[in-house]
Structure 1
Amino acid sequence: MRSFKEDEILVLLGAGTSCDAGIKNSNQIITDIENQLKTNEDWKIYAELYNYIKSVYYQKQLHKGSSVYEVNFNIESLVSLLNIIISIKDKKLDIYSFVGSWEKDLQPFITEEKSKHLATNFRERIIKSLRGDWLMPNNWIENSIYFKKLIDFKKEYDGNSLKIFTLNYDKCVEQNLKEEKIECGFDEFDKWNSKRYDYENTQSDYYLYKLHGSIDWKKKKEEQLTQFNGEISPEDLAIIFGISNKLQSYDPYLFYFYEFRIHCIKAELVICSGYGFFDGHINDVIKHGFAENKNKRLVVNVFDDGKNDKEIQKEISDKLLIDVGQIKVFNKRAKDFYTEDLKLETLSNLFPDNDEDLPVGI
């Protein structure tokens, strides 16, 4: 069995890895919103605004050359465009973000935002729902117990710390590793500090990097980021929506993204669970990490009963420009992957017995 050194294994978690805990992924949340807009009187006032935003998003993607079937309109897309409307109203952003002839259709919504705060209220309702049933449903703690399999995996990776990067806002990792030596970036006063990731002078078994923020992160303007378990206003909730906002120029987002890049280069085994490869920034980092190293391996755990492993493997290979022989797909629910396959012995068998490159397609 291949032995792995420090920093040679990296774990990346996407929304699909939490679905078995009853936590909704982005597309499921959009479906729920659309149902609410049709059936719930409190939500119906946002229907016209929602339909406009969705139309704009599709139009922008089609202008970029995507087909209708390739467009992925999700909760991040929705909130990102709501933020743009609010920023235009506040004169913090020009109208250029919306394409061509759509500009004239946008003005009524900006005017309405000034008088009725429709976009602001819609965004607030969405964020409150995120911190409720969408990301913290009943029994999520009991249902997320399969995350404890990370502990068994770490024990096999004896003597080395496990670096876990997540795109999720939920707390499945923190909850299930709370009895372990895990570093989440916050000091004894619940203040975030990058020095917590000083690997030479810290002794943690796990390091967690929440690339897009967390439902318990709070940040007021000019104040330090804090971890907060109580009620957080939508304006102070420190999570990132929208691809255009992913590369924030301040910490912890900039720090975490830089760490992700560095560790992707160092890693020989990258394990992606529940990530659909729709984020260009994340894809670029993975692609760069695999450049010119044919011995690296990418393990992908997704669940798509409409495709077989080879189809998924080929799609990822085309997206990341990684040889198909470097990609291993586990097309199953995350709970099953954690229980059955997240074992160092299983994953070490994906590597060649010597330093020569594997033939293409093996």
Structure 2
Amino acid sequence: MMSLENEVAVTKERVAVLLGAGASVDAGLPATNGLTEQLVREVASDLSSNDSVVKALNFVCSAMIGYRGASGGDPYSGLNVEKMFSAIRLLSSRLEHEASPFLSSWLPGVEAFDSHPVSSRDEEITRVLSRALMGTSGFGSVTGYVTDIVRDLRKPGDGSVYRELERELLPRVCKVLADHHDVSYLRPLASLAKQQQGLDIATLNYDLTVESMCEQVGASVQTGIAAWSPGSPLVFKGHDMADIRLLKLHGSINWSYEEQVPGSAEFSPSAGPQSEVLERFIRTRSVKTTDPTTNRNPAIVIGDREKLGGGGPTLALMREFEASLDRANRLVVVGYSFADGHINAVIRNWINTGKDRTITVLDPFWPSSPTGFQADLVAGLVADQGRHRPTVPPKMNVIKKSAASGLHEALSEGPTAGPDTNVSLSIIDKDESYLTLEVRNAGPDIHGISLNSVTVAGNREQTVVGFRAPRSGADYDQRIELGHLSRGSVAQVEVQSISGPNHGRSELTLICYASLGQRQHLFELDWTTSEVSLRPPFGR
């Protein structure tokens, strides 16, 4: 393998990696919402605007946007490509859905844009109409046929337009995701694979960014799909020689389904030279590799409801994902929002069955107030366990950076035993009317920091006028925002009291917005001695 820049430090720990959609954004590929918008444009440009498929797609997307907006949410957050495919698939078989008996009707557009086949009796209708026109029979029978046609048109649609829409969309998913840009930012993965003698990477993405990076640096990569056969485990040939085992849990744009039908071909249910060839078997589907730009039947699992469908290699991939985690004691999660319940269950079971197992999350959009499974992670792996319980080291850390800017750091730095904020406050200048304070960050990056005046200790008449940037001449305010404060950096702030800086005490609160939530530090400022002391932290 060629030499790599920014090599990850050699460590005794064994790391596995999970990639979400955010891991491919830096390669110029769209995330879930952006992919939906691009697919809409692709379909509209390739097909006539009057095409029923185009109209159906526009209807589905507008309905999803409207539904989200009607509840007061961000309307465009409804354009999730996974949810769109699930909706299209549901509409194509809506009459068989278990909720159908409880619905009085669907939105009018559901039926308006679907197909409503009419019983085909063209020759019979033509014969009856000809007789009526020639006067050899009345028009009563014609009226009967017209009534039948209207009745057919009023029946629920057969879902064929939505099935055709899915067939049109799937190849375009492959086409869009095949067009990635530079992937050199993923090179730390190959570096780590070399240093720990192999790396298991599970990805929820269909694209070929990891494969392209491996080709770029001369690293070997196997997906296990080449020798896979339905009903068999994945096979990684010569794993000791492979740098990266890539588990594409939801499929790949260069995988295509191939039907295995009894009577048309023989079938081998297991891989290897000694595999048995069956002449009798139940219809199934195997997977072959193909050109993603011409892939009409991609083996990808897309849609919220179909992640663990029985067809394809999904179950075999999930079993291998669980096995790969068992070989690791740290999982680095890149660009994944923890929205997949099946993946979350695997992570939960893994972290809960090993006391030395830890998680590092690389996500620039990690929320300041996590909800759902993200909140479960913080509560279980980071938060204090209570006053009367001994302090235990955290088992998770979050790095709020993109894959391009933070991958090397995430692969190198796991959770530490120290706090996720380490700030100090000191007086560096004293004037007749004010003090100048310096805030120093000796810990991880803080994404936002503010200083507040809380209460007065001692003299109840003593209060802080406020804060402002040093020598700015601006008005004083009871709160000042100091912005981002990276590790080792400092910020200065000017503070003034009503009675001047020569007597009394004040309490100041330093609020830090760290990767895993808000942290508050309470300081006592003694104006007489010009000293600042830190009180025990609160509000964690």
1:356 is matched with: none
Q: CA deviation at 1:33?
A: 4.8
2:56 is matched with: 49
TM-score normalised to structure 2 length? 0.52
Distance in 1 (CA, whole Å) between partners of 2:395 and 2:184 is: 30
Does 1:322 find its partner at 2:380?
yes
Q: CA deviation at 1:176?
A: 1.1
1:220 is matched with: 258
2:409 is matched with: 341
2:400 aligns with one of 316, 320, 331: 331
Distance in 2 (CA, whole Å) between partners of 1:162 and 1:229 is: 26
**SS across alignment from 1:267:** coil
Contact 1:12 1:272 in 2 (8 A): yes
**SS across alignment from 1:131:** helix
2:244 is matched with: 206
**SS across alignment from 2:235:** helix
Identity, in percent, stands at: 22
Contact 1:85 1:110 in 2 (8 A): no
Aligned residues: 330
Contact 1:301 1:334 in 2 (8 A): yes
Contact 2:42 2:172 in 1 (8 A): no
Question: Whose helix fraction is larger, Structure 1's or Structure 2's?
Answer: 1
Does 1:130 find its partner at 2:187?
no
Q: Which amino acid aligns with 1:290?
A: I
Q: Which amino acid aligns with 1:299?
A: T
1:68-79 equivalences under 5 Å are 68=73, 73-79=79-85
Deviations 1:95-152 (A, max 9, x none): 33567345474444443596895324432442233222x3123xx25x1121222112
The 3 A distance-change label for structure 1 pair 39 and 252 is closer
Contact 2:115 2:158 in 1 (8 A): yes
Contact 2:32 2:81 in 1 (8 A): yes
Q: CA deviation at 1:314?
A: 7.2
Q: CA deviation at 1:202?
A: 5.0
2:103 aligns with one of 100, 104, 109: 100
C-alpha RMSD of the superposition? 4.0
2:151 is matched with: none
Q: Which amino acid aligns with 1:267?
A: A
Q: CA deviation at 1:50?
A: 4.0
The 3 A distance-change label for structure 1 pair 267 and 26 is same
Question: Whose strand fraction is larger, Structure 1's or Structure 2's?
Answer: 2
Distance in 2 (CA, whole Å) between partners of 1:310 and 1:215 is: 31
The 3 A distance-change label for structure 1 pair 38 and 182 is closer
2:388 is matched with: none
Gaps of 5+ in 1: 354-359
Contact 2:200 2:245 in 1 (8 A): yes
2:468 is matched with: none
Contact 1:218 1:232 in 2 (8 A): no
1:175 aligns with one of 212, 215, 225: 212
TM-score normalised to structure 1 length? 0.74
Distance in 2 (CA, whole Å) between partners of 1:50 and 1:319 is: 36
Distance in 2 (CA, whole Å) between partners of 1:35 and 1:229 is: 22
Distance in 1 (CA, whole Å) between partners of 2:212 and 2:106 is: 45
Q: CA deviation at 1:166?
A: 0.3
Distance in 2 (CA, whole Å) between partners of 1:212 and 1:52 is: 27
1:202-281 equivalences under 5 Å are 202-222=240-260, 223-229=285-291, 232-234=294-296, 236-281=297-342
Contact 1:164 1:209 in 2 (8 A): yes
Contact 2:56 2:165 in 1 (8 A): no
Deviations 1:34-85 (A, max 9, x none): 66799998457557534654577689999xxx99469754111111222233
1:152-171 equivalences under 5 Å are 152-157=191-196, 159=197, 161-171=198-208
Q: Which amino acid aligns with 1:176?
A: M
1:290 is matched with: 351
Q: CA deviation at 1:330?
A: 1.3
The 3 A distance-change label for structure 1 pair 50 and 310 is closer
1:149 aligns with one of 160, 174, 188: 188
**SS across alignment from 2:380:** coil
Distance in 2 (CA, whole Å) between partners of 1:85 and 1:317 is: 31
Comparing 76-85 with 161-170, greater Cα deviation is found at 76-85
Distance in 1 (CA, whole Å) between partners of 2:170 and 2:104 is: 30
1:357 is matched with: none
